[in-house]
Copies of this chain bind each other. A is one copy, B any other.
Amino acid sequence: MIEIERKFLVENEDYKKLAVKKTYFVQAYLNTHPERTTRIRIAGDKAFITIKGKSSASGLSRFEWEKEIPVEDAKELLELCEPGAIEKYRYIIPLEELFYEVDEFLGNLKGLTIAEIELKKEDDSFKKFDWLGKEVTGDPDYYNSNLIKRSIKI
Interface residues of A (CB under 8 A from B): 30-31, 33, 35-36, 38, 49, 51, 53, 63, 65, 67, 69, 73, 76-77, 80-82
Contacts and interface: CB of A to CB of B under 8 A. Distances in A.
A35 B31 CA distance: 11
Contacts of A49: 49, 67
Contact of A69 (B31, B67, B80): B67
| Copies assembled | 2
A27 B49 CA distance: 19
Contact of A38 (B35, B38, B53, B63): B38
26 contacts: A30-B30, A30-B31, A30-B36, A30-B38, A30-B51, A31-B31, A31-B33, A31-B36, A31-B38, A35-B80, A36-B80, A36-B81, A36-B82, A38-B38, A49-B49, A49-B67, A51-B77, A51-B80, A53-B80, A63-B76, A63-B80, A65-B73, A65-B76, A65-B77, A67-B67, A67-B69
